[in-house]
Structure 1
Amino acid sequence: MNSRAESQWVKWPLMRAKANSFPVIILIATVLIALSFSLRIGGLEARALTIDEATIASFVEGVLDKGYPYIYVSTMEVPLATYELVPYFLALSVKLGGFSEFTLRLPALLFSTGVLSLIFWISLRRFGLAAAIIAGLLYSLSTWSIYWSQNAFHPAQTQFFTLLTATAVYHLLQQERVRLRFALLVWALFTVTYLSWEGSGFLLPVMAVIVLIFKRDNLVWIFQRNLWVMYLLVILTLVAQGVRRVVLQQPHLMLGSGKGDVSLPQLGFLKDSWEPGFYFINFFGMETHLITGAIFLLGAYYAWKRPTLRFYYLVFLITLLCLSNFLLFYNAHYVFFIYPFFIISVGAILTFLIEDVTRLTSRVKAPAATAVASFNLAALLLMAVMSMNSNLIHFYSIGNLGHLGFRSDYRDGFAGVDYRKVSATLKQGYREGDKVISMAPMPTKLYSGITPDYFLQTITDRKIVYDRNLDSPFYRDKFLGTVVLRSDRELQDVLNQNNRVWLVASPWNAMTLVIDADTLQFVQRSMRVVDESYDARLFLWQK
C-alpha cells in the first residue's frame, strides 16, 4: 500500500502549500466538528428512550450500585452477557451529570465526534485534504449518523472502536517485522470492540481476507511469532466471552428463542430465513445513500487501481457480505459499525474523480469543456453532500414505506415509540392498589418509577423465564421478571381480582406479534384509552 497520497485538487503549488498548512487543517477540522456537534446535541432529549436504550440504562443502575452491569429478573440477579462495556461509559456520564436522557446519550455523541475526527485524520493522511473535507461533510450531515449519535445503545461506541481497530490493522500491514507491542495493541482494540458488540467479531474473517489480499506475495509474513501471540490472545478472548455467556445463561430456564441463542456464525444458505440481499437493499436503498451509494459502487475502478482505497473499500463490502450470509438475525443498524469505511471511500472516490477530470480538461485546453466539467463536478459534489441529510433532499414521500418498511433512523423527525408520555400519564393517575400490565416493563419503570406487575404475551415471541426460586408456577418476563399473562383467561382473572388495572400498550403496532386477535379485541372492548402518543397507548380498566 502507498503511504500518504499527495492530493492534486489545487494545481497552484503555493495555494496547495497554504491549504495544507497545519493551522488551516486544524481550523477546517474544528469547523467540521462544530458543525457535527451542533447538528446532534440539540436532539439528545428529543425522542423517548427506545427499548434497547432503556435496557442498557437499567444495567447502568447496576454499575452504579455494585460496580458491574446487572439487573434483577424476579428474584434472580442477571449480569449483562453482551454489550459488556457499554454500560460503563454511560455510568460515568450519569455519575457526573445525573440520570437523564441527556447524560445517557452523551457518550454516543462523544463517540460520534471521535469517529468524525478519525475519518478526517485518516482521509487527510491517506488521500489528502480535499478527501478529508468531503468525508467530514458526508459524516457530519448524515441523517443516519445523527440518529445513532443520539442513541445510548451500542452502535456509536462500536463504530468508534471498530475504526480504531481497523486503523491499527492497516498500520500493522505496513510493518515487515511486526512489533509485539503493536500486535498487542491490535488485540486490545479488538477486545474493546468485541465487548461493545459481539457482531463486530466479523472483523476477524474480514481482516483475514484483507491480509491474504495485501500479503498474497509474502504469505510468510502471516506466521511471524509476534502475530501468533496476537492470534492466541484473540482466540482466548472469544472463548472466554463465549464461555461466560453460556455460564450466565445456564441457570435460567427459558421458553422461546432470541438473538442470545446465536453464539456462532451460521451458514445462511442452509436456513429458510436467509436473505442475502437484505443489507444491500437496506443500505444502498436508503434515500440518504442513493447518490453516495452509486458513487461508491461505480468507484470500484479507483479501489482496484489504488491499494490504499482498496483497504477501506473491501472492509465495507466484505463485512456486508459476511453479515448477509452468516448472521441470520437481520437488522439494518448492524451495518452502522462499518459506516465510516463507506464514508472514507466515497470521499476518496470523489476526490480522485475531481483530480482526473481536472487533469483531463487541463490537457484539452478548451474553456467550454472546462466550464461544463467544472459545473458537473460541482453539481455532483453538492448533490452527494446534500443527499446525506433528509432535511435537504427527499427522494420519496414520507408515507411511502417502500422496500425499507418502517424505520425511524433514516429520516430526521421520524418519531419512535413514545414511552415517555404514556408513562407520565400513568404516574399521574396511579393510585395505591392499582395493578399495571406493561408491554415494555423497563421503559415504564424508568419513566414512571412504577414497577409493573404483569406482562401480557399470548404468543411466545419474546423469551420468558421460569424462576425456580419461587413457589409460584408463573413464567416471568425477561426484562424485570413480572408475571406473564399467557391467555385472555389469565388476563380476565387479573381484571376480576382488582378494582383498577392499567395496560401500557407500547409499541402498539407490535401488539399483534405477542397477543392473539381475540385477546386484543377483548382489550379494546373492555378497557378505556386514557392516553395515546406515537405508537403507544395507555388503557385503564376499572370496576
Structure 2
Amino acid sequence: MRPSFRFLQWYQSGPGGTALLLVLTTGALLGYYGSLSLVAPPAPTYHLDFGGAPWIQASAPSNNVCFRKNFYLSEKPKYAWLQMAGIDAFRLSVNGKQATVGENESENESTILSLTAGGNQSVICDITRSLLPGKNTIAVNVTRGNFPGRSKLVCRGGVIDQSGKLSEFSSDNSWRVALTPGTIPALMSWTDREMDDASWAHAEVAPAERTGLTQPVTLPPILLQQPVKGKWIVDERPGPAGNTTFQRRFDAPHGITDAWLQIAANGNYSVIFNGHFLGEFTDSSPIIRFLHLKRWVKAWGNDLSIQTRALNGLPTLIAEVSFLSGGAEAASIGSNHKWTLPSSRFATTIGSYNYAGDHWGFPPKTSVPVELPSVEATHQSILGILFMVLVAAAVFLIWMRSASFLARRNGWEMAQSLGIDATLHLPALIAAATLLLLRYDIRFRPESPVRAEFFLGLVALLILPRLLVWARRKKPALSPFSTWEGWRGWASQNGFWLALGVIVLGSLAMRLHNLTTFSLDQDDILIRNYAMGIFDRGYPSLNFYNHVIRITTYELVPYPIALSCFIFGWSDWAVLLPAVVFGTLTTLLLGVIGRNLFDWRTGLLAALIHAFDPLNVFWAQHCFHPSQDQFFTILTIWLFYLAIRQAGKLDPKYFYAACFCFCLTYLSWEGSGYLLPALAVTLLAMYPGRWSWLRERHLWMGLIVVGSIVLIQLSLRATVVPLYLFLGYGMTSLTPSLYFLNPESWPSFYLSNVLLTQPHLLLTILCAAGALFAWQNLAVRYCFLVFLGLLLCFSLLLPVYSIRYFYFYQTLLILTACAVFFIVWDRIHELTSGWRTARFLAWGSGIAALLLVLGTATQTGLKVFRLSPQTSQGRVRIDPNERYDVVRQDTRAPAEFVASRLRSGDIVLANLTQAFYLYGRRMPDYALNTLLAARMIFLDEYAAYRHKFVGIPMVLNLRDMQSVFGQGRRIWYIGGGLVFEGPDELKNAIDFVTERAKIVYSSAHARVYLWDGTGTLAQQTIVNPALPPQPALLPEKPAPEDRVTEVSN
C-alpha cells in the first residue's frame, strides 16, 4: 500500500477536497492570527479618560454647532494639552490655529477630523505652542452630518505653568455655543480669541451618547499630558559633516506593558534600537515624534542609537524613553549627560527653557505615532509569511498523524479517519475567523482581539476535540441528530413557505420603516417629474417653458410610480412605494430561486440576508431605478438558467420568458445591457464544445426581438433630442469602452468599496470558495460565472463607478455564497459518518458560522466598519448605502425654509434645483454648474444653453456669479457643505458666495446662505465663512414676518 498515492486519489474526491480545504483554511487563519499576535503585532491604541467631564450641547436642537471656551493665563505656560471627543465630525482650533500637528495632518485650520469608522472621533494633542499670555480661546465646530441627532462634544484639558502646577479644565455649561454658522461684520474669524462672544448662549450638559463607540487614539494619553522629561543635549565636537551618534544603553524595568520613545533634533536623524532601523527624519524645526519600542524591548542590554546631522550649528537632541504599566508611566529615561557619544565621550546638557522660535525648549508634540519604516515592515512581513507557512504545515502534519492514530485505534479506513479528524478543526477555524473580524469592530480597539494567549487558546481548540474523539474506543449509536432528518423532510415541504412568508413580511417592514423620514433626493424627484408627464402627455416626459423632453433612459421606472400615485395620491410615500414593493418581491423571488436551484435552506438564508442587508434596504427606499432593476435582473438570470440547464438545448418556454424579462430589465436601466455579453460568455463556459444550441431557431428569434428593443431604445435616445443640442457632462452620454486602459481607471473599485466591506466580506469569501471546490455544481457554476462576468464588465468597460451599479446583480453574490455555505455544510456532515462527537462539533461550528455570516451581512451582530476604505489620514469613509441609520441629504427643509421667507424680487440660486421646485413650489432663478457636471440643452427661445431638466439659466464660472450678485438684490443660495478642494472654477464660485453671504439655515448635508442686497459687499466679507451668528441685518422692510433669523434643524 502506498499512502501518498492513496491520499492523492482521495483528496481529489468531493469529501477529500472538503476535508483538505478545512485543514488548509484552518492552518492559514491560525498562522495569520499567530503572525499578528507573535511576529508583527498591530500598533496599540488607547482610550481617553475624560474623568467627570460631561458631554455638552446647545440648548436648541442642531446638527451644526460652534463651541467656544475662553480662559486666561498670566504667563506663557510650560506645557498644555487638550483631549476631545465629538459625535460624527469636528474642527478644532486654539486661538485660530489648528490644534493637531502630525505627518498626516494638513496645516489648514479647516481640516475636518472626520468620523472614524462609525464611532465618536477623539483626539489628544499638545496645544502649548498655540497658547498666549492673556485671553485664549478653544473653538470647535461640531457637524453631525452622518448620523441623526444633536451635535455634542466632551473635552478635558490641562495647563502646566512655569512652576509645574497643573490646572485642568473640561467641558461644562461655561462654554459658549452658537447654532448655524454665520458671518461677522468685522474681518475676523469666529475662532479668533479677540472676537466677543458675550452674546452667545451657554452650553447645556447633555446625556452621554454612543460612549461605547468612542474611538481610541494612537498615542498613550499620559505621554501627551506632560512635557518630555529629557533635556537638550549636544555634541560639542561632531564629525566633519556636523554628524554624531547619541547612544544610550539600559535595562527595562520589570512588569512593563509598553515602551515609547519621544525624540526631536535640530536636523536630520535616524533611530536604531536593538539593531532595528526605526526611521529617518528631517525637520526644518524640531518636532517631538513618538516611536513605539515595545516589540523590540529586551529585559536587559537594550541599545538605543540616534545618528544626528545638524542643519545649522552643533547637533542637538532631546529624547525620553517612557515605560508604561497599565496605562500609567512606570519609569522613564530622559536625555542627559549620561548619554554617550563616539570615542566614549559623554553628551553635554544645554538645559530646558520655554520653546519659542529658535530658543531651546520643549518642541511641540505630534498627534500621531511614526509609522514603521518600509525596511522593517518588509522584514516583519517576510517573518509573518514564514510563520504562517510553518503553522499551516504543522496543522497539516498533525492532521495526518492524528488521522493515522484514529484509524489504528478504531480500525477505520484512512479516508474515514481523515474526514472525521478534518471536522475537528472547525471550532478553531470559526474562533480564529471571529477574532480576526473583531479587529474591525468599532466597539473594540483594533489590537484587543489579537493576543498571544488567544493564540494559545486556538491551539487548544485544535487539541481538545481530538482528545474527546481519542477517548472513545467504540463507535456510539447515532445521536438524536437523526431525528433532524425527519423534521428536515417536513420543513422542506411545509415549513419553507411559512418561514419565507415571515422573512418577506420582515423585509416589507424594514423597507416601510422610516420610509419618508428623509426627503426625496434629486434622482428621486427627477423620476417623479417624469411620472407626472404620464398623466399630462401620456408618456414619461418633462415640460418647462413650453419645451417637452421625453425620457430617454429608465423608461419603465415612472410607470409603477404613476400607478401608485394614481391610487394613493401624490406624496413622497406613494412615490417611494413601488421601490418598496420591488425590494420586497426580490426577497421573495430570491427565496424561491434559492430553493429551486439548490435547496430550501439556501433559499431561506438568501432571502433573510437580502431582507436585512442595509444596501438592499437603502435602495428599496429610493424610487430611482436600482430596486426595480434588481428584481427584473435576477428574474432574467433565473429564467435563462432554466432555459439552458440541459446541455446543448434551449427550453423555448423559459428562453422567451428570459428575453421578455431582459427587455423589462433593459428598459428599467440600459446599463443592465451588460447582461447580454455576461450571459453569452456564461453559456459558452457552461458547456464548452457543445454548441448545438446555435442551431436552435428559438435562439435567433429571441435575439432578434431583444436586439430590436435595444436598437430602438438607442435610436430614440439619439434622435428625441440630438446630442449636438447638449453641452456638459452627463451619465446619459456614457458608452462602453476599454476604460481599463485609461490611467485614471480604478478596476478594483468594486472589490475594495463593496466586496471587501462589512455586508459582503464573508459572502465574497464563500463565493470565491465555491469557484474552487463546488465547480461541479451546475447552478453554482452558473451563478458564479454570471456574477464574475458582470463584475468585470462594470469594472473594466464602464468609465464611471458607483455602488448602485453593483447593486442590481448583488443578489448573485448572496445566492452563490449561501449555496456554497450549505454545500460545505452537507459535505462536512458526510465526513462525520455518524460519529456523535464529531457531528456535535460540526453542528455547533456550523451554527456559529451561520450566525457569523448573518451578523456581518445584516449589521446585527458585528459592526466591522473598519473594513471600509480609509482616507489618507487613516479615517474611514461612511457610505450610506452600506450602513443603517446614516442620514441622507435633506432637500425638503431648506427649500421650505427659503420659500416661506421669499420676498418679491429675491433671487434663488440652487444646487438642489428640482428639490426646490418640488418642496418650495417655485422654480429657482439660477442653477450652479461650474464643472459642467449637469448637461445643458440649447433652447431656441432664449438662444442660450439652459438647465436640462428645469430650463433655468446656469452659473458656469466666477464671472457669472459676480453678474448675479451685481444685480443688487437679496440672493438665496441653497447648496451642500463648503468646498475646501476641487477645480478652481468651482471653488472660486462657491467661495464668492460663502464669503459674502450669511448661513441662515443648516440641515443634513445642506445649507442655506443669504446675501442681503441692501448691504455692501465689503461689510459682509469675512475671512472664514464658517461661523457664528451676529445681530440680524436690517430688513428692507420693518415687517417682522420678513425678518430672517438663524434657524438650525
- The one of the two structures with greater contact order (alpha-carbon pairs below 8 A, sep at least 6) is 1
Choose which of 372, 378, 382 in structure 1 pairs with 2:847. Answer: 378
Q: Can you list the C-alpha shifts for 1:27-74, whole angstroms capped at 9, x where unaligned? A: 111111111111111131122212211111111111222121111355
* Residue in structure 2 matched with residue 516 of structure 1 by the alignment: 986
TM-score (norm 2): 0.48
Give the deviation of 1:434 after TM superposition. Answer: 1.8
* Residue in structure 2 matched with residue 358 of structure 1 by the alignment: 829
Amino acid paired to 2:858: N
Change in CA separation of 1:370 and 1:391 when aligned onto 2, cut-off 3 Å: closer
Choose which of 439, 449, 452 in structure 1 pairs with 2:921. Answer: 449
The answer on 1:165 being equivalent to 2:636 is yes
- Where structure 1 has 5 or more consecutive residues not aligned to the other structure, the ranges are 1-8
Q: Report if aligned partners of 2:894, 2:1003 keep a CA contact under 8 Å in 1.
A: yes
Q: Can you list the C-alpha shifts for 1:359-399, whole angstroms capped at 9, x where unaligned? A: 21235x251x3333322211111010111123542113699
The answer on 1:495 being equivalent to 2:968 is no
Give the 5 Å matches for 1:9-48: 12-22=484-494, 24-48=495-519
Amino acid paired to 1:433: G
Change in CA separation of 1:222 and 1:215 when aligned onto 2, cut-off 3 Å: farther
The answer on 1:422 being equivalent to 2:894 is yes
Aligned mates of 2:857, 2:984 — CA distance in 1: 36
Q: CA RMSD in A?
A: 2.4
* Residue in structure 1 matched with residue 772 of structure 2 by the alignment: 301
Aligned mates of 2:979, 2:770 — CA distance in 1: 41
Change in CA separation of 1:251 and 1:35 when aligned onto 2, cut-off 3 Å: closer
Choose which of 627, 634, 637 in structure 2 pairs with 1:156. Answer: 627
* Residue in structure 2 matched with residue 6 of structure 1 by the alignment: none
The answer on 1:85 being equivalent to 2:551 is no
* Structure 1 stretch displaced more, 301-310 or 29-38: 301-310
* Residue in structure 1 matched with residue 615 of structure 2 by the alignment: 144
- Where structure 2 has 5 or more consecutive residues not aligned to the other structure, the ranges are 1-480, 1015-1049
Change in CA separation of 1:178 and 1:354 when aligned onto 2, cut-off 3 Å: closer
Q: Report if aligned partners of 1:391, 1:412 keep a CA contact under 8 Å in 2.
A: no
Aligned mates of 1:115, 1:458 — CA distance in 2: 40
Aligned mates of 1:41, 1:509 — CA distance in 2: 35
Aligned mates of 1:533, 1:72 — CA distance in 2: 30
Give the deviation of 1:407 after TM superposition. Answer: 2.2
Choose which of 797, 811, 814 in structure 2 pairs with 1:340. Answer: 811
Choose which of 131, 136, 139 in structure 1 pairs with 2:602. Answer: 131
TM-score (norm 1): 0.92
Give the deviation of 1:305 after TM superposition. Answer: 2.3
Give the 5 Å matches for 1:215-254: 215-250=687-722, 253-254=725-726
Aligned mates of 2:878, 2:746 — CA distance in 1: 18
Amino acid paired to 2:797: F
Q: Report if aligned partners of 2:980, 2:987 keep a CA contact under 8 Å in 1.
A: no
Give the 5 Å matches for 1:110-125: 110-125=581-596
Aligned mates of 1:63, 1:83 — CA distance in 2: 14
Aligned mates of 2:972, 2:545 — CA distance in 1: 20
Give the deviation of 1:148 after TM superposition. Answer: 0.8
Give the deviation of 1:128 after TM superposition. Answer: 1.3
Matched residue of 2:1000: which SS?
A: strand
Give the deviation of 1:182 after TM superposition. Answer: 4.2
Amino acid paired to 1:199: G
Q: Report if aligned partners of 1:286, 1:404 keep a CA contact under 8 Å in 2.
A: no
Q: Report if aligned partners of 1:74, 1:476 keep a CA contact under 8 Å in 2.
A: no
* Structure 1 stretch displaced more, 348-357 or 200-209: 348-357
Change in CA separation of 1:366 and 1:187 when aligned onto 2, cut-off 3 Å: closer
Q: Can you list the C-alpha shifts for 1:417-454, whole angstroms capped at 9, x where unaligned? A: 11111112112212232221111211111111111111
Amino acid paired to 1:526: R
Choose which of 662, 676, 680 in structure 2 pairs with 1:190. Answer: 662
* Residue in structure 2 matched with residue 390 of structure 1 by the alignment: 859
Change in CA separation of 1:509 and 1:534 when aligned onto 2, cut-off 3 Å: farther
Q: Report if aligned partners of 1:457, 1:514 keep a CA contact under 8 Å in 2.
A: no
Change in CA separation of 1:219 and 1:397 when aligned onto 2, cut-off 3 Å: closer
Amino acid paired to 1:465: I
Aligned mates of 2:573, 2:867 — CA distance in 1: 28
Change in CA separation of 1:310 and 1:400 when aligned onto 2, cut-off 3 Å: closer
Matched residue of 2:884: which SS?
A: coil
Q: Can you list the C-alpha shifts for 1:164-200, whole angstroms capped at 9, x where unaligned? A: 1111111111366546554432221111100001111
Amino acid paired to 2:734: V
Give the 5 Å matches for 1:274-313: 274-313=745-784
Q: Can you list the C-alpha shifts for 1:184-220, whole angstroms capped at 9, x where unaligned? A: 3222111110000111101101110111122324202
* Structure 1 stretch displaced more, 111-120 or 271-280: 271-280
Change in CA separation of 1:208 and 1:251 when aligned onto 2, cut-off 3 Å: closer
Aligned mates of 1:266, 1:404 — CA distance in 2: 32
Of structures 1 and 2, the larger Rg is shown by: 2
* Residue in structure 2 matched with residue 95 of structure 1 by the alignment: 566
Matched residue of 1:526: which SS?
A: coil
Q: Report if aligned partners of 2:912, 2:974 keep a CA contact under 8 Å in 1.
A: yes
Change in CA separation of 1:298 and 1:174 when aligned onto 2, cut-off 3 Å: closer
* Residue in structure 2 matched with residue 413 of structure 1 by the alignment: 885
* Residue in structure 1 matched with residue 1029 of structure 2 by the alignment: none
Amino acid paired to 2:830: R
Change in CA separation of 1:16 and 1:490 when aligned onto 2, cut-off 3 Å: closer
Identity %: 28
Q: Report if aligned partners of 1:210, 1:311 keep a CA contact under 8 Å in 2.
A: yes
Q: Report if aligned partners of 1:278, 1:324 keep a CA contact under 8 Å in 2.
A: yes
Q: Report if aligned partners of 1:509, 1:535 keep a CA contact under 8 Å in 2.
A: no
Give the deviation of 1:411 after TM superposition. Answer: 0.4
Q: Report if aligned partners of 1:457, 1:515 keep a CA contact under 8 Å in 2.
A: no
